[in-house]
Chain A
């Protein structure tokens, strides 16, 4: 009995191979996107953890001797004592009219520097004179134009803005033979190794945790995960649509099987088994595909993470059993979720079920109302979860909003289309609108998929731009001065200050005091009254004349402090015992986990007279900055990293973000592709039902070409409406971001990006309709005439 029933069930797929293909492909694509993101994530996390472990759990540990460079013999002695250290020599290399940071490393040592990709290159070329310079292609091109330098290797994974070379080449170019600026610890120091104090008596070991990276790494991974889930949901809509259609198509078969004596529960189990088998096949396909996608994208992700965090991530991808199992589980869970509705209906279906297409249509109308209601609940729940606070809650909220918006879509679209049909003037327009509304139940799932895909795109776009702004914006504020300098001590700082008079436009002291603000770890900066701050500091809201008020004793605080402590302009903030000040302004401070306040320098010194005065920002003509830096190095005995060139850092961060964009835009296109596939599969599924709608219009005098054009227009129009529906979701997103993260992502609308996205959505709609339209145009009239035939 079972075997007969199974063959009857499976016969359906032979009759509708397209449906089978769509089901498997939809699920496979969903799984692929999910596992690709997971693979990248898992790989990045693992490698990051490995890197963190070798760096003794925290940031990089750097050993340096403040008084003098480290010698080769001292380095060798440390190695022979078992210390896993690798040497670095740093300086600025004059090339033409500019100077570039040059980093000399032991190209033989771990962590290994990027390997250059010239197959004819010999190790002797790299390690012995004249050596090779390694730089990103843009920098390499500039260096190649300069005569007298060693040959330059182009390497996309080289650190941005920095010339990398072997330490042997570096010491020659910088004329510092036998000198090492610092040693990086690359692993745990073995037990019983001679202590540093004995090997390098006057050296210092600092474990520098790069600022903010932990929270940013977390949010990067969390973003990727959220993105992976959304991408998976896009695919799931495809599966749900097809599974529902397959169920409807087989309703008669189910009824017959039941009537012929197959018990209902057995039938339900058979269909469940069928769905499980399909899910496993699709899941395997998807994991394979995902592996391919991840392998293609991983180099960019590694480059991004390395650039952002200095985390060493291998570019090889390992197939981890964890995410294969995870991918299969997701496919299975997805298929069951998508098929649950059909299964439940099958389970409850009476044997004598007289359901016709009319009832199906009515039930979808009811459904769209129910979905809208569920959507509203999700959105509300999303907002409610914000109360919990934190990143996870933030993403829960966002997921709630996105899914909620998707669920609302059919209802809203139905309302819009109905209204449009009533307002339409011409008969064709009226028909097209009304027909769109009629088509909506069949297309709504695909459109929801499109909405999610677009939302994902926007979400990711926002994430990327927030990252970009987190860094560049932060740098722009903090690095308004052309040059930043940290002197060895206060005496040298004063000397430099005197020397700079007349040579620089201004010297801005940077002095700060770490303390707790509103019971959070925070920092108070003291600034002098200078146009640099008035012109550059990004105040979100401010009282009148905030800078004058600052000079008069008021305080400026960052958004984090304002949101966290619920402070507003005019409130009073306690800065220390017996010291409180009126808040005169709030400034944006993207990505900074700490709370922060700014006061006038004399005020800060009044309360904390002893704070160090070694750091300064130097304003000068940007064109002359390089020369000034060179002069400072020549005139004063400064460590190589004591001077920071604002331009170099900005260039570096920009190139890092452009790499990030590479990954995300590739995934974005893939997600939109899946959504287009959803529309296409829905349109093809609706094809048979469409003919009776189109035939009368054709008979009454609309040519096939016109009808085909209208088909494309309809699909494109629906895509456009869906895209517009996003505006709402996006607004909600902006609200959520503030609530969840405490800082506002700047409302930078990138009009071109948005237009591009709209164009992509339209393109997805149009491309999806092209195949059905082409079919319609070439449809023999006989097929249309069958609609009118009596002997149907």
Chain B
């Protein structure tokens, strides 16, 4: 009997084998033998920290963007490069213990295109260099002289995109100077973002090219064991409000209770970290997708900022049916504030 390819790849990505889901989403809750642990005293150093950290087990370059065409139709795109270390460190050639996985998606109000690429480190097929900045897997790439000025390209079955990104604000460091705590037990990651991108370019759909503009959000995160063993997944929000304020919020779902954290970013780019329990996240409506029930409508409130909004998926069917599967798609915000953003839900 053969192991299903999917299970094998999920195990590959997680750097572990066996019952993957039992250990939390993609094995992020399992032990990290030999890998570095996030350090609250760590001081970021750029441009080096734009590049990979092979001493840590898991890392990602995660770009999402809300786009609109001339007719006002909403689109969302995702470009993600995951790195997963089978062992700490990097060696050249096929023996490299680093695995890379790319996910690209294009979401319209009624369609969701997505594609995946998998490659090994050490041979140049995939990787990230800080100067000039380049993140790539095969012919998908996010590259530019530095992360403030990028071109972004990917394609898959039925879709492609080619976009230019310009950062119009500073990097944002989540938690305590970029040390983002994920559970009451102290699981954590190094986490910073560039939420100030403006974008323009072309989406290619089966019926032809579409000119679009919009704003984007890059997340950079690395860790070795970001989830506590009882945590099964997370709900993550990146919201851009029409007031110019932005909000990153997540909820980690655990058997011993949920853990929330958030970062409020004002129009000037000043960030305030919000600890466990300061925001309230309530799923309003569950949508059946890929044989599961996934909450595609939420209530989010932050009394401190008079924020009380409803967040609805632009396309509730934005399921990423991949080696590691999750929900990822653009959302619309209504209520006390309006705006657009992205939602990611794992472990459903």
Q: Chain A residues in contact with chain B, CB under 8 A?
A: 72-73, 75-77, 79-82, 106, 108-109, 112, 114-117, 119-124, 127-129, 155, 157, 166-168, 171-172, 177-178, 190, 193, 315
Contact = CB atoms under 8 A, between A and B. Distances in A.
B2 A157 contact: yes
B86 A127 contact: yes
B15 interface: yes
Given A79-B119, A122-B11, A157-B2, 9 more contacts: A72-B123, A106-B94, A108-B118, A115-B2, A119-B18, A127-B97, A129-B95, A168-B95, A190-B139
A76 B124 contact: yes
B35 interface: no
Which of A79, A82, A106, A128 has the most chain B CB atoms closer than 10 A to its own CB? A79
B125 interface: yes
B99 A75 contact: no
A116 B3 CA distance: 6
A115 B3 CA distance: 6
Nearest to B12: A123
A79 B155 CA distance: 14
A82 B138 contact: yes
B17 interface: yes
Q: Which are the 3 A-B pairs with shortest beta-carbon distances?
A: A168-B94, A76-B124, A82-B139
Contacts of B118: 108-109
Contacts of B17: 119-123
Interface of B: 1-5, 8, 11-12, 15-18, 86-87, 93-95, 97, 99, 118-120, 123-125, 136, 138-139, 155
A77 B95 CA distance: 19
A115 B12 contact: no
Given A108-B118, A166-B94, A315 B8 contact: no
B119 A108 contact: yes
A128 B95 contact: yes
A1 to B, nearest CB: 49
A128 B97 CA distance: 7
A155 B2 contact: yes
B201 to A, nearest CB: 17
Contacts of B18: 119-120
A121 B1 CA distance: 14
A115 B4 contact: yes
19 contacts: A72-B124, A76-B123, A79-B138, A106-B94, A108-B119, A115-B4, A122-B86, A123-B11, A123-B12, A124-B97, A127-B94, A127-B97, A127-B120, A128-B95, A129-B95, A168-B95, A171-B94, A172-B95, A177-B93
B136 A72 contact: no
A81 B124 CA distance: 12
Contacts of A193: 139
A40 B134 CA distance: 47
Contacts of A109: 118
B51 to A, nearest CB: 18
A76 to B, nearest CB: 3
A75 B123 contact: yes
A157 B3 CA distance: 12
Contact of A108 (B16, B97, B120): B120
Contacts, number: 91
A127 B9 CA distance: 12
B87 A128 contact: yes
Contacts of A167: 94
Contacts of A117: 1-3
A605 B1 CA distance: 54
Nearest to A314: B5
Contact of A80 (B4, B5, B94, B136): B136
A106 B2 contact: no
A128 B3 contact: no
A190 B3 CA distance: 31
B60 to A, nearest CB: 18
Contact of A124 (B87, B94, B123): B87
Which of B1, B11, B87 has the most chain A CB atoms closer than 10 A to its own CB? B1
Nearest to B124: A76
A473 B201 CA distance: 62
Nearest to B10: A123
Nearest to A193: B139
Given A73-B124, A76-B123, A121-B17, A108 B12 contact: yes
Which of A76, A79, A82, A123 has the most chain B CB atoms closer than 10 A to its own CB? A123
A293 B15 CA distance: 37
A80 B138 contact: yes
A124 B119 CA distance: 14
Contacts of B136: 80
B86 A75 contact: no
A77 to B, nearest CB: 8
A764 B124 CA distance: 64
Which of B2, B11, B120, B136 has the most chain A CB atoms closer than 10 A to its own CB? B2
Contact of B5 (A76, A82, A115, A171): A115
Contacts of A77: 124
A260 B189 CA distance: 88
Nearest to B120: A108
Contacts of B1: 117
A178 B15 CA distance: 24
A447 to B, nearest CB: 41
Contacts of B4: 115
Nearest to A108: B118
Contact of B139 (A81, A168, A172, A315): A81
Contacts of B5: 112, 115
A547 to B, nearest CB: 50
Contacts of A73: 124
A127 B120 CA distance: 9
A116 B119 contact: no
A115 B138 CA distance: 23
A117 to B, nearest CB: 5
Contacts of A128: 86-87, 95, 97
Contacts of A119: 3, 17-18
B123 A123 contact: no
A119 B1 CA distance: 10
Nearest to A84: B138
A259 B2 CA distance: 66
B93 to A, nearest CB: 6
A75 B139 contact: no
B228 to A, nearest CB: 23
A75 B3 contact: no
Nearest to B13: A123
Contacts of A120: 17-18
A662 to B, nearest CB: 15
A166 B124 CA distance: 17
Contacts of A315: 2
A258 B3 CA distance: 64
Nearest to B85: A124
Nearest to A129: B95
Nearest to A194: B139
Which of A122, A166, A193 has the most chain B CB atoms closer than 10 A to its own CB? A122
A116 to B, nearest CB: 7
Which of B11, B118, B123, B138 has the most chain A CB atoms closer than 10 A to its own CB? B123
B125 A79 contact: yes
A555 B120 CA distance: 57
B2 A108 contact: no
A531 to B, nearest CB: 46
A435 B2 CA distance: 56
A82 B2 CA distance: 30
A598 to B, nearest CB: 44
Contacts of B15: 123-124
Contacts of A157: 2
A83 to B, nearest CB: 9
Nearest to A119: B18
Nearest to B160: A190
